[in-house]
Amino acid sequence: MNTEAKKVYFHTFGCQMNVYDTGKMRAQLTADGFEETDVPEEADLVLLNTCSIREKAVDKMLSNLGEHRRRKREGQKLTIGIAGCVAQERGKELMERFPDVDLVFGPDGVPAVRDLVSAAMEGKRVLDTDFLDLDNYPFVADVDPSDHGVSAFVTIQKGCDNKCTFCIVPSTRGIEVSRPAAEIVQETRDLVARGVQEIVLIGQNVNSYGLKRADCPTFAQLLYQVAEVPGVERIRYTTSHPRDMGDDVMQAYRDLPQLTSHLHLPVQSGSNKILRRMKRYYTRERFLEVVDKLRDARPDIQLTTDIIVGFADETDEDFEETMTLLDEVGFVGSFSFKYSPRPGTPALKMKWSVPPEVASERLTRYQDRQRELSLAWHRGLEGQTVDILVEGPSRHDEGVVCGRTSTHAMINVPGDLSLVGKTLPARVTRGFTHSARGELV
**Among the listed residues 223, 287, 222, the one whose alpha carbon sits nearest the alpha carbon of residue 258:** 223
Q: What is the DSSP string of 39-84?
A: -GGG-SEEEEEE--SSHHHHHHHHHHHHHHHHHHHTT---EEEEEH
169 sits near ligand SF4 (criterion: CB under 6 A): yes
SS (H, E, C) 201-259: EECCCHHHCCCCCCCCCCHHHHHHHHHCCCCCCEEEEECCCHHHCCHHHHHHHHHCCCE
Q: How far is the CB of 11 from ligand SF4 (least distance, A)?
A: 13
Residue of this chain nearest to ligand 5AD (CB atom) = 306
155 sits near ligand SF4 (criterion: CB under 6 A): no
Q: Which is nearer to ligand 5AD, 57 or 126 (CB)?
A: 57
- Of residues 137 through 196, those in contact with ligand 5AD by CB under 6 A are 166-167
Q: Give residue 241's identity as a one-letter amino acid code.
A: H
377 sits near ligand 5AD (criterion: CB under 6 A): no
Q: Which is nearer to ligand SF4, 132 or 220 (CB)?
A: 132
207 sits near ligand 5AD (criterion: CB under 6 A): no
342 sits near ligand 5AD (criterion: CB under 6 A): yes
Phi, psi (rounded to 5 degrees) for 36: -85, 140
H helix count then E strand count, the chain: 12, 19
Cα–chain-centroid distance for residue 327?
Answer: 25
User: What is the distance between the alpha carbons of residues 407 and 302, in angstroms, rounded to a whole number?
Assistant: 6
**Residue 342, binding choice from ligand SF4, ligand 5AD, none, Cβ under 5 to 8 Å by partner class:** ligand 5AD
Q: Which is nearer to ligand 5AD, 248 or 306 (CB)?
A: 306
**Residue 354, binding choice from ligand 5AD, ligand SF4, none, Cβ under 5 to 8 Å by partner class:** none
**Residue 51, binding choice from ligand 5AD, ligand SF4, none, Cβ under 5 to 8 Å by partner class:** ligand SF4
Q: Which residues bind ligand SF4 (CB under 6 A)?
A: 14-15, 17-18, 51-53, 84-85, 168-169, 172-173
Q: Which residues bind ligand 5AD (CB under 6 A)?
A: 53-54, 166-167, 266, 268, 306, 308, 337, 339-340, 342
